[in-house]
C-alpha cells in the first residue's frame, strides 16, 4: 500500500497543520483520526473560520443558551466559544507537543482583527487571551502590519507564542524575523529562558497569485510580446515568493545572531505556508503543497486540500528548487509595471478587511442568538413523515455506520459506484463541495468586474446558456428584481424565435453585455445564441463587438478559444470538477448575480453557513443536507418518489432549479426522484400516495393560502418536509443543502448522481435531423393520426378521432405514474396560464402528478429522467408553427428549424425507450390550440371519471 503523502511530507521535514477548527471536529473524533492516520500536527483558526463554524452549525447552541442565561455579553460569549474550542483542540495535540519537544502540536487563536493597526491594544488582548487559554501549545495570532511588529517583539519577550499572520511581502518578512529575534534577545537579557518560546511566520500564498494574475492577464491582452512575458510569470508569483522567502529564512538563521540564541535553547521562527487552497481552476488543487515541501516549514491547509493531497499529492523536497529562477521572475515583474510592495500592501489591507467583516458578522449572529436563546425557536428543517420516519431513522443510522459524511467530503467515489470508469466521472464531479470557498476569494474581483462593466456604459445583461449554465441565473433574475446599482439580467435559454426577436427588440444592443455560458464550450444552443448576437453587434460596431461579450466555460474548451480569438471582454474559467447542475455557486451562477447587483459576498457567506452545517464532522441526524437526502431516498423506495415543491411566489423559480438538479442527477438506470415544481395547488383528495411534499417558507413573507394548503396535506397524512429561509438570499444555502441531499439520495439509491447518460441521445438525434436539413432533404416527420380543428395529433397507433386517441393514451395510466407536458412553445403569461390549467385537470382527473417543461430547456433538465428514469411517465409533447423565424449565422437552418429538430429528436428518443408518448401540434395560434386541446382533454377526463363512478 503506498505511503500516505501527508505522513511522507512530515518525514521530509514539513509539518502539516489544518486551517480549520470547529467544536464538532474535536467532539466527533475526526480531529483525533486526522492526528492518528495522517500525522496532523497543528491547527490554525481565524475570525472567518469561527464565523462560519458558529453561525453555520448547531454545535454551539446549548453553550450560547447557557451563557445567555448567565447574562454574558456578546463578546463574553464569543471568547468563551473560541477559547473553549482552542483549549479542547490543544488538549488533543498535547501528545504531539510533548513528543516533538514543543516543535509542533499548536493551535492558534487570533486577536481581534480590528486591532491590526493598534500596537498597545494588540499586546493587551494577546496577554489576556494567552492567560485565558492557559495552554503551552497555543499561538496568539498577530498580523504582520507595521503596528504589529513591536507587538510581536514584546509578546515574544514575555514568552507568549506568536503566529505572525497576514504576511505577504519579502521585506516585511525580514522585519518579522527581526522582531522575533529581538524578542528572544530581550528575554535573554533579563535572564529568562527561551527554550520553549515558539513562533511561526505565516506567508499567505494563493491570494498573491489571485491579485498578480489579474494584473498579468491585463498585460497579456496588450500584444504578443507582452503575452509571452506576462504568460511566463502567470501563476508563478506566490511559489516564487515562498522559495525566495525560504532562502532568506536560511540566511537569517545561519548567522551568528541566531547561533548565540540557539546555544541558549532558542528555536527558529519557522515559515508557515498559509492560504494554500488553489483558487484558479487551471492550477493543480495541491499546487501550494507539492511545490513547497522543505525542512523546518509548516503548511496549514483547509480540509479540501488536505484530502486532495492525501489522495494524489506527491511529497518531495521541492522548496529549494529553482530559487534563482524564482528570484529572476520576481525581478521581471516591475518591467511589466507590477510592484510587489504595492501588491503586498493592498493584500494586507484586504486581508484585514476580510477578517473584520466575518468578525463583525459573527458578533451580529451571536447578538441575535443571545436575544433568542431564552425563546423557543423553530427548527429550520423539520420532517413530518408519519410511519416512514422509522425507516428514515434506520437509513440515517446506516449512513452513520458506513461513515458516509466523512467519505462524502473525502470524495470517495465508492459511495456511488464501484466500476473504475464510473468512479473517474464521480471524482471529476465533486468540486462543488468547495466551490463557495473558491468563489469567496474571487468575490472582490467580481465586484471590480461589475464596476468595469458599468463604467463602460453597459445598461443590460443577456445571459445565454442551457440547463446548469442558465437555471441558477434564471432563479436569481426572477427572485431578485430591480436591484439597486444592478443591471437588468435577461436569461436566454430557448431556441424559440419569438423570444430571441423579443430580446433583440427590448434591449439596447450596443449597451448590452452578452454572456455565453457553456461548461463544455460546445453546447449547440449557447453557441447559436452567441453567434447570432455577435453578428448583430458586429454589424453595428465592427471589430469591437467582442467588447460586449463574456464567456463562462471550462479551461481548454472551444468556447474559451473563441473568446480569445474574438477578443471577448472576459473569459471566466470555471472549476472543471463541477458538473453543470451543481454549478450555481460557481462563476456560472455568480457572474450574472454580481452583474444583477446582488451581494455576492453575502450569497457565498450563506452557502458557506450551510456547508459548515453539512460538514464532515457533523453527525447524520444533525446534518441538514444528508438527513434530507436520506428522507428523499427512503420515501422514494417506499413509492413516494414524486418530490413536490411548494414554494411562495417570491422564490418560485427555486423549484425549477431543483427540478433539474434532482431529475438529471437521479433519473437513470430505471430509478429516480421525480421533481414536481410549480404545480397548482389542489385539494388533498386529488393527490395519490406517491408524493413527498417540500414546503419552503420565507420569514416575514406571509403566504396564508400556501400555509393552509400545507396544513391540510399534513392533516390528510401526506408526508411533509418544511424548510424555512430567513430571506431570499438564503436561496444560496438551499443550493448547497440540495446538492448535498441529491448526492446522498443518489448514493442510497445506487445511482451515479454525476453523469447524464441519456442527455446526449436527444442531442444526437437532433444532429442527425439537422444533417438532413444540411443535405437539403428537410425534416422528416410522421404523418398525424388525427387532424381535428387546429390540432394535429401524432401517436403510434391509428385513432378514429382526437377523443379516442387521447382516451386510449390516458387509459394506460396507473397509480404512481406522472404526466409530463413538454411544451415547445413561446413562454409567456397567457400560455403559462393555459398549461397550468391543463396540469390541474390532469391531476384532478387522474390523481397523477404533473410536470411542465418548456422545450428545449427541459432537455437539459428533466430530459434525462424522462428517458433514463423509471418508466412511469406519460409524455405529451406540444409543438406549434413559428409566427416568425430567425436564421442562425453560418448555418443552413433557423432557430425554428433547430427547435423542431430538438422536439422530433426527443420524441424519437422517448419512443426508443418504450415511453408512452403522444405529440400534439397546436398550429400557429398557440392559445387557440391549447384551448382546443384543453376542451378535448376535459371531455376525455370527464368520461373517465364517469366510467370509474359507474
SS (H, E, C) 402-424: CCHHHHHHCCCHHHCCCCHHHHH
Q: Is 118 a catalytic residue?
A: no
Burial class (CB in 10 A: 0-12, 13-18, 19+), 328: exposed
Half-sphere exposure of 928 (CA within 13 A, CB side): 9
Write the DSSP symbol of residue 630. Answer: H
In contact, 744 and 408? CB cutoff 8 Å: yes
Other CB atoms within 10 A of residue 215 CB? 18
Q: C-alpha angle with apex 222: 217 to 223, nearest 5 degrees?
A: 115
Write the DSSP symbol of residue 547. Answer: G
Task: Pick the closest to residue 863 from 581, 582, 613, 640 (CA basis).
Answer: 581
Cell 410536470 appears where?
A: 851
Task: Pick the closest to residue 631 from 710, 719, 711 (CA basis).
Answer: 719
C-alpha cell at position 27: 467532539
Q: DSSP characters for 666-678?
A: H-BTTB--EEE-S
In contact, 518 and 463? CB cutoff 8 Å: no
- Please tell me whether residue 789 adopts helix, strand or coil conformation: coil
C-alpha cell at position 835: 398549461
C-alpha cell at position 699: 420569514
Other CB atoms within 10 A of residue 363 CB? 16
In contact, 370 and 77? CB cutoff 8 Å: yes
Catalytically annotated residue among 8, 72, 120, 141: 141
Other CB atoms within 10 A of residue 51 CB? 25
What does the alpha-carbon distance between residue 393 and residue 630 come to, in Å, rounded to a whole number?
9
In contact, 95 and 124? CB cutoff 8 Å: no
What does the alpha-carbon distance between residue 311 and residue 309 come to, in Å, rounded to a whole number?
5
Task: Pick the closest to residue 241 from 319, 339, 324, 330 (CA basis).
Answer: 330
Other CB atoms within 10 A of residue 441 CB? 18
In contact, 109 and 130? CB cutoff 8 Å: no
Q: Which residues are catalytic?
A: 141
Amino acid at each position: 500500500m503506498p505511503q500516505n503523502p501527508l505522513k511522507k511530507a512530515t518525514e521530509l521535514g514539513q509539518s502539516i497543520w489544518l486551517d480549520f477548527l470547529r467544536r464538532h471536529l474535536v467532539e466527533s473524533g475526526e480531529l483525533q483520526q486526522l492526528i492518528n492516520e495522517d500525522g496532523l500536527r497543528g491547527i490554525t483558526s481565524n475570525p472567518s473560520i469561527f464565523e462560519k463554524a458558529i453561525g453555520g452549525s448547531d454545535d454551539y447552541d446549548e453553550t450560547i443558551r447557557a451563557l445567555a442565561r448567565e447574562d454574558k455579553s456578546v463578546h463574553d460569549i464569543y471568547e468563551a466559544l473560541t477559547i473553549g474550542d482552542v483549549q479542547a483542540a490543544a488538549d488533543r495535540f498535547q501528545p504531539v507537543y510533548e513528543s516533538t519537544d514543543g516543535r509542533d502540536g499548536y493551535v492558534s487563536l487570533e486577536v481581534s482583527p480590528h486591532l491590526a493597526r493598534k500596537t498597545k491594544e494588540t499586546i493587551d488582548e494577546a496577554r489576556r487571551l494567552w492567560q485565558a487559554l492557559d495552554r503551552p501549545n497555543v499561538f496568539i495570532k498577530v498580523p504582520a502590519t507595521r503596528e504589529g511588529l513591536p507587538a510581536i517583539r514584546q509578546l515574544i519577550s514575555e514568552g507568549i507564542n506568536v503566529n505572525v499572520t497576514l504576511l505577504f511581502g519579502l521585506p516585511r518578512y525580514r522585519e518579522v524575523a527581526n522582531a522575533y529575534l529581538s524578542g528572544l534577545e530581550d528575554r535573554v537579557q533579563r535572564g529568562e529562558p527561551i527554550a520553549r518560546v515558539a513562533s511561526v511566520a505565516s506567508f499567505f500564498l494563493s491570494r498573491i497569485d489571485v491579485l498578480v494574475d489579474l494584473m498579468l492577464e491585463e498585460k497579456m491582452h496588450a500584444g504578443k510580446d507582452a503575452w509571452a512575458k506576462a504568460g511566463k510569470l502567470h501563476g508563478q508569483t506566490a511559489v516564487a515568493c515562498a522559495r525566495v522567502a525560504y532562502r532568506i529564512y536560511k540566511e537569517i538563521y545561519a548567522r551568528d545572531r541566531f547561533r548565540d540564541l540557539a546555544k541558549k535553547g532558542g528555536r527558529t521562527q519557522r515559515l508557515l505556508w498559509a492560504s494554500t487552497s488553489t483558487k484558479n481552476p487551471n492550477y493543480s488543487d495541491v499546487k501550494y503543497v507539492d511545490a513547497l515541501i522543505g525542512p523546518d516549514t509548516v503548511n496549514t491547509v483547509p480540509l479540501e486540500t488536505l484530502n486532495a493531497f492525501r489522495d494524489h499529492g506527491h511529497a518531495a523536497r521541492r522548496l529549494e528548487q529553482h530559487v534563482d529562477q524564482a528570484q529572476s521572475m520576481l525581478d521581471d515583474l516591475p518591467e511589466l509595471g507590477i510592484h510587489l510592495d504595492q501588491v503586498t500592501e493592498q493584500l494586507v489591507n484586504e486581508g484585514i478587511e476580510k477578517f473584520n467583516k466575518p468578525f463583525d458578522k459573527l458578533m451580529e449572529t451571536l447578538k441575535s442568538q443571545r436575544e433568542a436563546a431564552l425563546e423557543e425557536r423553530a427548527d429550520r428543517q423539520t420532517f413530518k413523515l408519519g410511519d416512514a420516519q422509522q425507516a428514515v431513522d434506520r437509513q440515517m443510522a446506516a449512513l452513520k455506520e458506513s461513515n458516509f459524511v466523512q467519505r462524502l467530503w473525502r470524495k470517495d467515489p465508492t459511495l456511488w459506484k464501484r466500476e473504475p470508469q464510473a468512479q473517474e466521472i464521480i471524482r471529476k464531479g465533486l468540486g462543488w463541495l468547495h466551490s463557495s470557498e473558491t468563489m469567496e476569494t474571487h468575490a472582490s474581483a467580481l465586484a471590480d468586474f461589475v464596476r468595469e462593466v458599468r463604467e463602460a456604459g453597459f445598461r443590460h445583461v443577456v445571459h445565454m446558456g442551457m440547463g446548469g449554465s442558465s437555471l441558477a441565473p434564471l432563479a436569481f433574475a426572477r427572485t431578485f428584481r430591480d436591484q439597486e446599482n444592478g443591471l437588468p439580467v435577461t436569461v436566454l435559454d430557448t431556441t424559440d424565435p419569438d423570444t430571441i426577436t423579443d430580446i433583440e427588440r427590448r434591449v439596447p444592443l450596443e449597451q448590452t453585455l452578452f454572456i455565453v455560458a457553456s461548461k463544455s464550450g460546445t453546447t449547440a444552443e449557447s453557441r447559436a445564441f452567441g453567434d447570432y448576437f455577435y453578428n448583430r453587434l458586429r454589424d453595428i460596431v465592427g471589430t469591437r463587438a467582442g467588447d460586449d461579450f463574456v464567456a463562462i466555460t471550462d479551461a481548454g474548451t472551444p468556447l474559451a478559444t473563441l473568446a480569445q480569438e474574438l477578443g471577448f471582454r472576459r473569459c471566466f474559467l470555471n472549476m472543471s470538477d463541477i458538473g453543470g447542475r451543481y454549478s450555481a455557486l460557481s462563476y456560472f451562477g455568480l457572474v450574472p448575480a454580481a452583474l444583477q447587483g446582488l451581494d455576492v459576498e453575502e450569497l457565498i457567506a450563506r452557502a458557506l453557513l450551510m456547508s459548515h452545517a453539512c460538514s464532515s464532522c457533523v453527525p447524520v441526524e444533525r446534518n441538514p443536507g444528508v438527513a434530507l437526502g436520506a428522507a428523499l431516498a427512503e420515501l422514494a423506495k417506499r413509492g413516494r418518489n414524486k418530490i413536490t415543491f411548494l414554494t411562495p411566489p417570491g422564490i418560485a423559480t427555486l423549484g425549477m432549479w431543483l427540478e433539474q438538479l434532482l431529475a438529471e442527477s437521479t433519473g437513470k438506470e430505471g430509478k429516480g426522484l421525480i421533481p414536481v415544481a410549480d404545480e397548482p395547488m389542489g385539494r388533498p383528495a386529488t393527490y395519490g400516495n406517491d408524493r413527498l411534499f417540500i414546503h419552503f417558507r420565507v420569514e416575514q413573507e406571509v403566504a396564508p393560502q400556501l400555509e393552509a394548503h400545507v396544513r391540510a396535506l399534513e392533516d390528510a397524512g401526506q408526508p411533509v418536509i418544511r424548510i424555512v429561509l430567513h430571506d431570499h438570499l438564503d436561496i444560496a444555502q438551499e443550493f448547497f443543502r440540495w446538492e448535498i441531499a441529491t448526492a446522498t439520495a443518489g448514493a442510497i439509491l445506487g445511482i451515479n448522481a454525476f453523469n447524464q447518460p441519456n442527455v446526449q441521445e436527444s442531442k444526437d438525434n437532433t444532429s442527425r435531423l439537422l444533417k438532413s436539413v444540411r443535405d437539403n432533404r428537410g425534416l422528416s416527420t410522421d404523418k398525424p393520426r388525427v387532424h381535428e380543428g387546429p390540432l394535429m395529433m401524432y401517436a403510434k397507433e391509428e385513432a378514429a378521432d382526437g377523443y379516442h386517441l387521447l382516451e386510449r393514451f390516458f387509459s394506460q395510466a396507473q397509480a404512481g405514474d406522472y404526466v409530463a407536458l413538454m411544451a415547445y412553445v413561446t413562454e409567456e403569461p397567457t400560455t403559462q396560464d393555459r398549461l397550468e390549467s391543463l396540469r390541474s385537470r390532469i391531476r384532478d382527473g387522474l390523481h397523477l402528478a404533473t410536470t411542465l417543461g418548456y422545450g428545449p430547456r427541459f432537455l437539459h433538465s428533466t430530459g434525462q429522467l424522462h428517458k433514463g428514469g423509471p418508466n412511469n411517465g406519460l409524455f405529451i409533447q406540444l409543438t406549434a408553427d413559428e409566427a416568425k423565424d430567425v436564421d442562425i449565422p453560418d448555418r443552413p437552418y433557423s432557430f425554428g428549424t433547430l427547435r423542431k429538430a430538438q422536439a422530433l429528436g426527443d420524441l424519437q428518443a422517448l419512443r426508443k425507450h418504450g415511453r408512452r408518448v403522444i405529440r400534439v401540434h397546436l398550429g400557429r395560434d398557440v392559445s387557440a390550440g391549447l384551448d382546443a386541446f384543453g376542451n378535448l382533454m376535459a371531455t376525455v377526463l370527464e368520461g373517465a371519471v364517469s366510467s370509474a363512478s359507474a
